Chains A and B, each alone.
Chain A
């Protein structure tokens, strides 16, 4: 097996761990936040390469909200959690305890609730990344943007060699939502993470 294949195997293993445990934590966290049953499941996990990524993930030009986080400290890269604006509206209504028709897409409270919920989901995944690697994962103040897929994930990021993807399905009050968790670690970070997993699994 080549080094690249080894690395990809390691990344898939990492994503499975993050996905399985992170989804459970995110569900518990969101349930606690809105005092209602929330189910979070991972429907797809993959490591995508740039051409596949652009074609399979960014092709549909549907207006979306994206929570954007930048890794800080020893790790470098970006994290995106993307959700279509139509689904974000439903999620916002559940978070604020109001009807979907009452949601104003420009409302500060709607944006703030959505930002916190997506931040909690991304935070759950990052907390698991920290545990499986033994590394402290620090990230920037989250930024929430509304746009079509392509501009949200800036062109430099979309051209990266590898993107880790966790497709996340949420179920709140009998309604289904889907979000994309995209993790663009830079190359040194992939190496640090792989070393961290190896070291931690040997302990």
Chain B
């Protein structure tokens, strides 16, 4: 069962996304509420997938989800990361993809979009119909 680290400062979104990912057959092995914890937990748990919120409280040197992506990719160039953005954050999403993220979903996400992003990140499947 693929493992996943869910990163979001909102506990409600972590629970909502976690429930969707479990239904996709993923094992939630960790959660993080900011970018610094996300980087630390990635190194410790080495999950198969990370979902990463973009805008989170600034803690330590990892001041955003995008910086966390850079740090994780530096540690593991094969890391598979899906960005989770709010509406209208197009510029930040592009920056995150350039930093190495595999895909993105916009809040509020639905199960089919999350499923497509997971398949694309884990297996390289791109379902453009979604």
Contact = CB atoms under 8 A, between A and B. Distances in A.
For this complex, into which size category does the number of interface residues on chain A fall?
Answer: 20 to 34
A124 B87 contact: yes
Interface in B88-122: 88-92, 107-110
Contacts of A119: 86
Given A29-B108, A109-B11, A136 B87 contact: no
Interface string A82-125: 00000000000001000000000000110011011001100110
B90 A141 contact: no
A9 interface: no
A138 B108 CA distance: 18
Interface residues of B, number: 22
A141 B56 contact: yes
A109 B15 contact: yes
Contact of B12 (A32, A113, A137, A138): A113
A113 B8 CA distance: 13
B87 A116 contact: no
Interface of A: 25, 29-30, 32-33, 95, 108-109, 112-113, 115-116, 119-120, 123-124, 126-127, 130, 136-141
